[in-house]
Amino acid sequence: MKTTFINSKNILPPEETINEQTVEKFINMFNDTITKGEEIGPKCTIHLNDGLDEIPTLNEKEFNLAKSMAQREGWILTKFSDNYQSTTYVLTKHQV
C-alpha cells in the first residue's frame, strides 16, 4: 500500500492560521458600514455581530492582525462574546 496520512507536523489548527480572505472580508464590511454612516454610534463607534451582520468570525491570529491594521488607521478594534454564542466586534475612532 502506497497511500498514507499527511504528516501531522505540516498541519496547523484553524486557530493558528491566518486566512487573508476572511480578514479582507471582515475589514470590507466595517469599511462599508463606515462609508454608509448608518450604523455609526456615539463617539464614532461601529458594532458588528457575527451572528446578526454576517461578518466573518475571526480566530485570534486573524483578530490580532485586523486589530493592528485598524490601529494604524486611527481605530481601536475590540471584541466581546455575548449571551447568544456570538461575537460582537467594536470599532471605535481613536480619540486623541
Each of the 96 residues of the chain gets a pLDDT tens digit; together they read: 788 888 888 777 766 789 999 999 999 999 998 888 766 766 788 999 999 998 999 999 999 999 999 999 999 999 999 887 899 999 999 876
- Domain 20-93: give its CATH architecture: 2-Layer Sandwich (3.30)
Q: Is the pTM of this model over 0.75?
A: yes
Q: How far is CA 12 from CA 9, 15, 16, 17, 48, in A?
A: 8, 8, 6, 7, 28
Confidence (pLDDT) at 12: 73
Domain boundaries, the chain: 20-93
Confidence (pLDDT) at 20: 93
Q: Residue length, the chain?
A: 96
**Calpha distance 67→79 (Å, rounded):** 10
**Calpha distance 12→62 (Å, rounded):** 14
Q: What is the dihedral of CA 50, 54, 56, 60, to 10 degrees?
A: -10
**Calpha distance 38→6 (Å, rounded):** 48
Confidence (pLDDT) at 43: 76
